[in-house]
């Protein structure tokens, strides 16, 4: 009786580790499928369109409001004495290093990991995956590899766009609401921002994109039967992708910026 | 010729196949009957390699399927799935021509489309259907498109998984007739699983009944009604009482 909660913790820990192991095996299978022909380039282009282009509005809006809120926070946070310098530089560095990639990826995870898991999960339960096999087409190469490849390329592009819009959001709030000098704002942004701030964020974006599509495909391919099975796969994909993005973000930040 | 020897498959404690032995001669149409959950679908999936059997051998034209090149092996198969299993994201003709648009047997797009339209016509669908999407079709039309896709690459062996499930009796009759015609005209070896007795009589040369994980009875369809096997008789006449326990 008293041990029941402990047992529950143990069970969920073991379950979590087993799932992580299965995801690792799925990752191996994806990489193995990615290096062997045939390559379905048309599917890559389709996935690039769906994952990348269609995510632009949500990523852009997120970045704009985040940049604006960041400018307000920094200004209000006791830095008024030289706000003209501090606001632009922290907005730029904060957006490119952290908030652009992380918030952008979380929004894409909500949009894309869910839709990939639901689409592939539905294909699984309606025997479309089996049909692919009988038509001599490897589902890993036809469904998983194009989505993973497209997301790995598309998310950094989205992050770059998000960075720019986020900095613009900070600029709009900084010059419009906080009365900072427009020319000085732009000069300070350019002066303090280093190339590595941007590229590190883009590398994070690529890793996050890879995670989003891989997890979406994994839960889709392993979806249980029925509407409930697909629903659960979709939910698990979003939750797992989001947690893995945050964990990977910490590891990458440690790797890139700790001396 | 398809030969199954001592096929076993269990899912956890549930022993679905317990030593299935079956031979389907070349060019014959074999129909496998049996109640729901008796492992008919698992049997087909084992042959196709979608499910790995625990024990036993599957030979196609004398060759062990686990030792042959999988791509070449699957290229000889066509399959009509129970729900059609059409790809929602592709138009009807792209579904039918799926195999012709990619892989080793790839044809130019225009030619693949022409073949697809010809196959659609063969299953009684007009060319206008070609550019619709599967979601825009009725159940019977989806079955026909699935059938057109199964025969598009002129397979030597065709599998039909519950071809009439979910159709009205008239449409079921039409699909049964189509299957019979196509199998005869292509000279293909056919394997159908069903629990619809009208399908059995329309499609089968030979019948095998799967019960309790083994083939309970097998023989020509003409011998089915006179066969003394009580399991078979209970099934074909749909009696609630008999050796097969029915859950009430």
User: What's the CATH code of the domain at B186?
Assistant: 3.40.50.300
Give the A window 17-56 contacts with B, CB below 8 Å: 38, 40
Structurally, how many domains does chain A consist of?
1
Which domain, by its residues, includes A162?
A: 40-254
**Which tops the pLDDT comparison, A180 or A148?**
A148
Q: Which residues contact B231 (CB under 8 A, 6 or more apart)?
A: B209, B211, B216, B217, B242, B243, B244
Residues on chain A touching B49 (C-beta within 8 angstroms): 133
Residues on chain A touching B91 (C-beta within 8 angstroms): none
Least confident of A6-20, A208-222, B161-175: B161-175
A21 in a domain, yes or no? no
pLDDT tens digits along B104-137: 778 899 999 999 999 999 888 899 999 999 999 9
Determine the Cα–Cα distance for residues B192 and B220; give it in Å rounded to an integer.
14
Determine the Cα–Cα distance for residues A59 and A45; give it in Å rounded to an integer.
20
A133 in a domain, yes or no? yes
A253-257 contacts, C-beta under 8 A, 24 or more apart: A253/A97, A253/A98, A256/A196, A256/A200, A256/A203, A257/A97, A257/A200
Which of B50, B78, B102 has the CB atom closest to A137's CB atom?
B102
Look at residue A78 in the predicted model and tell me its pLDDT: 62
> Minimal CA–CA distance to B30: which of B53, B3, B52, B11?
B3
A130 in a domain, yes or no? yes
> Minimal CA–CA distance to A160: which of A20, A56, A15, A32?
A56
Integer CA distances (angstroms), A14 to A20, A56, A229, in order: 10, 38, 21
pLDDT tens digits along A106-128: 999 999 999 999 999 999 999 99
B106 in a domain, yes or no? no
Structurally, how many domains does chain B consist of?
1
- DSSP 8-state symbol, B41: H
B179 in a domain, yes or no? yes
- Arithmetic mean of pLDDT, A6-24: 91
B83 in a domain, yes or no? no
Mark residue B7 as left, alpha or beta (left: phi above 0; alpha: psi -120 to 50; beta: remaining): beta
What are the residues facing B11 on neighbouring strands?
B14
Which domain, by its residues, includes B168?
A: 2-76+155-237
Determine the Cα–Cα distance for residues B207 and B219; give it in Å rounded to an integer.
6
Q: Are B163 and B179 in contact (CB under 8 A)?
A: yes
- The answer on pLDDT for A83 being more than 80 is no
- DSSP 8-state symbol, B246: P
Mark residue A201 as left, alpha or beta (left: phi above 0; alpha: psi -120 to 50; beta: remaining): alpha
B142 in a domain, yes or no? no
Size of interface A-B (CB pairs under 8 A): 46
Look at residue A259 in the predicted model and tell me its pLDDT: 61
- The answer on pLDDT for B81 being more than 70 is yes
B9 in a domain, yes or no? yes
Look at residue B68 in the predicted model and tell me its pLDDT: 83
pLDDT tens digits along A204-242: 999 999 999 999 999 999 999 888 999 999 999 999 999
pLDDT tier for residue A178 given thresholds of 50, 70 and 90:
confident
pLDDT tier for residue A75 given thresholds of 50, 70 and 90:
confident
A159 in a domain, yes or no? yes
Q: What number of other Cβ atoms are within 10 A of residue B55's Cβ?
A: 12
CB atoms B98 and A130 under 8 Å: no
Look at residue A79 in the predicted model and tell me its pLDDT: 61
Q: What is the mean pLDDT of chain B?
A: 89
A143 in a domain, yes or no? yes
CB atoms B85 and A137 under 8 Å: no
Put simply, whether B160 touches A (Cβ < 8 Å) is no
- Whether this model's ipTM surpasses 0.90 comes out as no
B49 in a domain, yes or no? yes
Max mean pLDDT range (A78-92, A199-213, A245-259, B190-204) = A199-213
What are the residues facing B209 on neighbouring strands?
B33, B217
- The answer on pLDDT for B9 being more than 60 is yes
As a whole-number percent, the residues of chain A with pLDDT over 70 amount to: 98
B23 in a domain, yes or no? yes
- Arithmetic mean of pLDDT, B140-147: 90
- The answer on pLDDT for B247 being more than 60 is no
B51 in a domain, yes or no? yes
Q: What number of other Cβ atoms are within 10 A of residue A91's Cβ?
A: 33
Question: CA torsion sign, B104 to B105 to B106 to B108?
Answer: positive
Residues on chain A touching B77 (C-beta within 8 angstroms): 134
Q: Are B204 and B32 in contact (CB under 8 A)?
A: no
- Arithmetic mean of pLDDT, A133-151: 94
A26 in a domain, yes or no? no
**Crossing angle for the helix pair A56-76 and A100-108, to the nearest 10 degrees:** 140
A1 in a domain, yes or no? no
CA distance A137 to chain B (A): 8
């Amino acid at each position: 009786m008293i041990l029941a909660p402990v047992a529950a913790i143990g069970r969920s820990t073991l379950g979590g580790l087993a799932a992580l192991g299965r995801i690792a095996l799925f990752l191996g299978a994806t990489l193995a499928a990615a290096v062997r022909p045939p390559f379905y380039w048309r599917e890559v282009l389709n996935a690039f369109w769906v994952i990348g282009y269609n995510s632009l509005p949500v990523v852009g809006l997120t970045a704009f409001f985040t940049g604006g809120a960041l400018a307000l926070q920094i200004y209000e946070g006791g830095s008024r004495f030289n706000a003209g310098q501090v606001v632009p530089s922290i907005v730029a560095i904060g957006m490119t290093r952290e908030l652009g990639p992380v918030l952008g990826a979380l929004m894409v995870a909500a949009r894309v990991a869910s839709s990939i898991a639901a689409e592939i999960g539905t294909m699984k339960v309606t025997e479309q995956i089996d049909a692919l096999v009988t038509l001599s087409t490897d589902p890993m190469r036809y469904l998983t590899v194009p989505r993973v490849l497209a997301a790995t390329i598309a998310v950094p592009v989205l992050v770059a766009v998000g960075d720019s819009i986020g900095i613009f959001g900070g600029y709009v709030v900084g010059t419009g609401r906080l009365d900072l000098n427009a020319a000085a704002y732009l000069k300070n942004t350019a002066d303090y921002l280093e190339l590595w701030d941007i590229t590190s964020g883009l590398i994070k974006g690529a890793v996050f994109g890879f995670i989003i599509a891989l997890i979406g495909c994994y839960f889709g391919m392993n979806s249980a039967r029925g509407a409930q099975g697909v629903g659960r796969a979709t939910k698990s994909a979003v939750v797992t992708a989001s947690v893995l993005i945050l964990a990977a973000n910490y590891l990458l930040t440690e790797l890139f910026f700790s001396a | 010729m398809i030969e199954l020897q001592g096929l076993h498959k269990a899912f956890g404690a549930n022993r679905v196949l317990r030593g299935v032995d079956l031979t389907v001669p070349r060019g014959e149409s074999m129909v496998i009957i049996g109640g729901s959950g008796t492992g008919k679908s698992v049997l087909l999936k084992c042959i196709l390699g979608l499910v790995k059997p625990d024990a036993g051998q599957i030979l196609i034209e004398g060759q062990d399927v686990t030792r042959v090149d999988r791509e070449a092996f699957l290229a000889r198969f066509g399959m009509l799935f129970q729900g059609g299993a059409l790809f929602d994201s592709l138009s009807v003709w792209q579904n039918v021509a799926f195999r012709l648009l990619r892989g080793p047997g790839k044809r130019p797009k225009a030619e693949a489309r022409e073949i697809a339209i010809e196959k659609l016509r063969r299953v009684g669908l007009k060319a206008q259907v070609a550019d619709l999407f599967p979601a825009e079709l009725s159940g019977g039309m989806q079955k026909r498109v699935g059938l057109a896709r199964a025969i598009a690459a002129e397979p030597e062996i065709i599998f039909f998984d519950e071809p009439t499930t979910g159709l009205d009796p008239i449409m079921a009759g039409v699909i049964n007739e189509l299957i019979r015609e196509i199998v005869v005209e292509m000279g293909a070896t056919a394997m159908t699983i069903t629990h619809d007795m009208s399908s059995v009589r329309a499609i089968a040369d030979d019948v095998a009944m799967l019960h309790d994980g083994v083939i309970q009875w097998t023989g020509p369809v003409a011998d089915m009604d006179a066969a003394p096997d009580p399991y078979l008789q209970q099934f074909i006449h749909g009696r609630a009482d008999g050796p097969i326990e029915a859950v009430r």
